[in-house]
């Protein structure tokens, strides 16, 4: 996985678009839910990439690194739909 600086910003500001945790920030999803996606297969495209990144950060205990980013606002046009 090639990590770009904007990936962390996007992850910090992107909400789950569907399902049980719809509306919750991806980085705040329960690790068990992210592991379920890993087992079943992450969605195609950008959402799947961000979910995989969220799992990587969560499993390594690094989600706190996004705390300063989540306090910033991001223009809606830069978020995935």
- For 12, 14, 36, 41, 73, the CA distances from 77, given in Å and listed in that order, are 15, 12, 30, 27, 12
Asked whether residue 28 is assigned to any structural domain, the reply reads yes
Global confidence as pTM? 0.81
Q: What pLDDT tens digit does each residue of the chain (81 aa) get?
A: 678 879 999 999 999 999 999 999 999 999 999 999 999 999 999 999 999 999 999 998 888 888 878 776 655 545 554
Q: How many domains does the chain have?
A: 1
Asked whether residue 54 is assigned to any structural domain, the reply reads yes
Question: Which residue range is the domain that position 17 belongs to?
Answer: 5-74
Asked whether residue 27 is assigned to any structural domain, the reply reads yes
Asked whether residue 61 is assigned to any structural domain, the reply reads yes
- d(CA 9, CA 17) in angstroms, rounded, equals 17
Asked whether residue 79 is assigned to any structural domain, the reply reads no
């Amino acid at each position: 996985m090639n990590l770009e600086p904007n990936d962390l910003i996007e992850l910090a500001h992107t909400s789950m678009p569907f399902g049980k945790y719809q509306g919750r920030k991806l980085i705040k999803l329960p690790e068990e839910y992210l592991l379920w996606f890993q087992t079943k297969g992450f969605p195609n495209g950008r959402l799947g990439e961000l979910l995989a990144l969220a799992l990587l950060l969560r499993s390594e205990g690094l989600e706190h690194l996004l705390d300063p980013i989540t306090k910033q606002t991001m223009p809606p046009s830069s978020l995935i739909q």
